[in-house]
């Protein structure tokens, strides 16, 4: 039994070290922007369906299966560390091509109301909520990540889907996150 625990500890430590190393390497080069007529002017996330849709006007451009925060079914994000995905209307406020997950589009959580609600409960609101691919170096797992919600409150897709989303979603695109 002791040998199995030692092997498990080594595997876990190796995976952690690999993830940390790959986070320093970064995501690689982002794709070029899509033509204007293929760019979204709204993102809509349906948490209960684990689905995200890019829209241009009323027409869907693309639909993606997503993974969310590990406590996504427990309602909207209320504070830092609750592992819930926010609900409400936000925007993509900046893009990070060198994040620890493959390409990241940052969501403008917390808004002033989110911050007030968290502080009223005596907690920080948190932040760093984004749409992203898999952690750098783990892209080979592709669609396996859909088997469970694994983020800390973010919206996760495969790396190939993230390349498509990155190309189609400009900064300041509104995002509606629904229960």
97 vs 82: CA distance, rounded Å: 26
pLDDT of residue 148: 83
177 vs 179: CA distance, rounded Å: 7
Question: Is the Cα torsion angle 51, 52, 55, 61 positive or negative in sign?
Answer: negative
pLDDT of residue 99: 87
Q: How many residues does the chain have?
A: 179
- pLDDT tens for each residue of the chain, 179 residues long: 777 665 555 544 444 454 554 555 556 689 999 999 999 999 999 999 999 999 999 999 999 999 999 888 888 899 999 999 999 999 999 999 988 889 999 999 999 999 999 999 999 999 899 999 988 765 556 676 677 898 999 999 999 999 999 999 999 999 999 99
Whether the predicted model's global pTM rises above the 0.85 cut: no
pLDDT of residue 144: 64
pLDDT of residue 103: 93
Closest among 178, 171, 143, 163 to 66, alpha carbons compared:
143
96 vs 159: CA distance, rounded Å: 14
Q: Count other C-beta atoms under 10 Å from residue 147's C-beta.
A: 9
């Amino acid at each position: 039994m002791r040998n199995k625990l030692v092997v498990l500890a080594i595997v876990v430590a190796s995976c952690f070290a690999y993830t940390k190393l790959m986070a320093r390497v970064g995501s690689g080069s982002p794709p070029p922007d899509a033509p204007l007529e293929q760019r979204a002017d709204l993102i809509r996330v349906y948490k209960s369906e684990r689905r995200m849709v890019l829209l241009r006007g009323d027409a869907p451009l693309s639909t993606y299966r997503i993974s969310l925060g590990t406590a996504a079914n427990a309602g909207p994000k209320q504070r830092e560390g609750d592992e819930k995905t926010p609900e409400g209307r936000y925007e993509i406020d900046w893009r990070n091509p060198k994040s620890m997950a493959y390409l990241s589009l940052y969501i403008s959580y917390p808004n002033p109301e989110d911050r007030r609600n968290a502080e009223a409960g005596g907690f920080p609101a948190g932040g760093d909520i984004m749409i992203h691919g898999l952690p750098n170096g783990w892209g080979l797992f592709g669609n396996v990540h859909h088997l469970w919600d694994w983020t800390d409150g973010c919206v996760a897709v495969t790396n190939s889907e993230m390349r498509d989303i990155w190309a189609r979603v400009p900064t300041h695109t509104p995002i509606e996150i629904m229960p």
